Amino acid sequence: MSPKNVWTIARKDFRTYFSSPIAYIVIAGFMLIMGWMFFYTLSHFEMQSMQYQQFNTGKSPSLTEGIIRPVYGNMNVIFLFLVPFITMRLFAEERKLHTIELLLTSPVRLTEIVLGKFISSFLLILVMLGVTLTYPIILFATGNPELGPIVTSYLGTLLLASCYLSIGILFSSLTENQIVAGSLTFATSLFFWLVNWAAQASGPIWSEILNYLSLIGHYSNFGQGLIDSSDVIYYLSFIGLGLFLTHRVLDSFRWR
């Protein structure tokens, strides 16, 4: 596998995002929603702190519990809605324009194509997260937050968003209809988000399995400033499985 070929495909697709309104709309919507959430959470935290001091009801909530965890937790929900818009065109547009035949017959390995497409969407996620770096800067300028939970929250969000991306790339490779690809991506991501809800009505074995399959269930440790190797392995395995299935779908399409 040639890293140069992977980067060439990733750079081409990343530029394509900004040659259409998709990237601008997604980034603008993300900034607007997250900006409002951060402002609201910060205002609510200040009001709570004043009430604790005024009525002496105990120790006021920390910045980690009052701001960092809810803000970055809500960020994962926003990515659940926005990632389908990022991934729906990656292969679906190629299939619709019949350029995928040229791509699959080019002197580039299928693995390089899949990784290049994935990295292009991952780079867009990095740009969106880069915008949110203003939030910890504001917190450090006005208070004394813990650095650990901020770093692990970003890491957990990157891994979780990458799982969404792997789902989106898979469904984009299955159809030429971008709306269908986006809808299936959202539905599947939501399923793996809420799958642990059924654990309460299941037996002990199934309950453990459903809890393990939950995407958001593996994020909780990151939000608390902890990095558990089992959570990292789960996310990386999920991403790897999505990319592997995408590879198999494209390979079968190439031999039709």
Residue ranges of alpha helices (H) inside 88-109 are 92-96, 100-104
What is the rounded average pLDDT of the residues 58-77? 78
Look at the block and give the residue holding tokens 């926003």. Answer: 78
Domain count, the chain: 1
- Looking at residue 188, its pLDDT comes to 92
State yes or no: pLDDT of 146 exceeds 90.
Answer: no
State yes or no: pLDDT of 63 exceeds 80.
Answer: no
State yes or no: pLDDT of 33 exceeds 80.
Answer: yes
Amino acid at position 25, single letter: I
Neighbour-count burial of 160, counting CB atoms closer than 10 A to its CB (0-12 exposed, 13-18 middle, 19+ buried): buried
Q: Which range marks the domain in which residue 24 is found?
A: 3-254
Amino acid at position 120, single letter: S
State yes or no: pLDDT of 58 exceeds 70.
Answer: no
Q: For the chain, what is the mean pLDDT?
A: 84
**1-10 b/e with 16+ CB inside 10 Å = b?**
eeeebbbebb
Model's pTM, two decimal places?
A: 0.88
C-beta of residue 172 within 8 angstroms of C-beta of residue 91: yes
Q: How far apart are the first and last CA of the chain?
A: 24
What is the rounded average pLDDT of the residues 27-40? 90
Select from 223, 172, 187, 206 the least CA-distant residue to 68: 223
- Looking at residue 84, its pLDDT comes to 92
State yes or no: pLDDT of 223 exceeds 60.
Answer: yes
Contact partners, residue 253, CB within 8 Å, separation at least 6: 100, 104, 173
State yes or no: pLDDT of 152 exceeds 60.
Answer: yes
Task: Check residues 83 and 45 and name the one with the higher pLDDT.
Answer: 83
What is the rounded average pLDDT of the residues 199-203? 66
Task: Check residues 137 and 54 and name the one with the higher pLDDT.
Answer: 137
CB atoms within 10 A of CB 226: 13
Contact partners, residue 103, CB within 8 Å, separation at least 6: 94, 113
Q: Cα–Cα distance between 93 and 89 in angstroms, integer?
A: 5
Task: Check residues 233 and 40 and name the one with the higher pLDDT.
Answer: 233
Q: Cα–Cα distance between 44 and 184 in angstroms, integer?
A: 36
What is the rounded average pLDDT of the residues 173-185? 90
State yes or no: pLDDT of 57 exceeds 60.
Answer: no
- Looking at residue 122, its pLDDT comes to 94
% of the chain residues with pLDDT over 70: 90
Task: Check residues 202 and 108 and name the one with the higher pLDDT.
Answer: 108
Task: Check residues 8 and 162 and name the one with the higher pLDDT.
Answer: 162
Task: Check residues 68 and 51 and name the one with the higher pLDDT.
Answer: 68
- Looking at residue 56, its pLDDT comes to 62
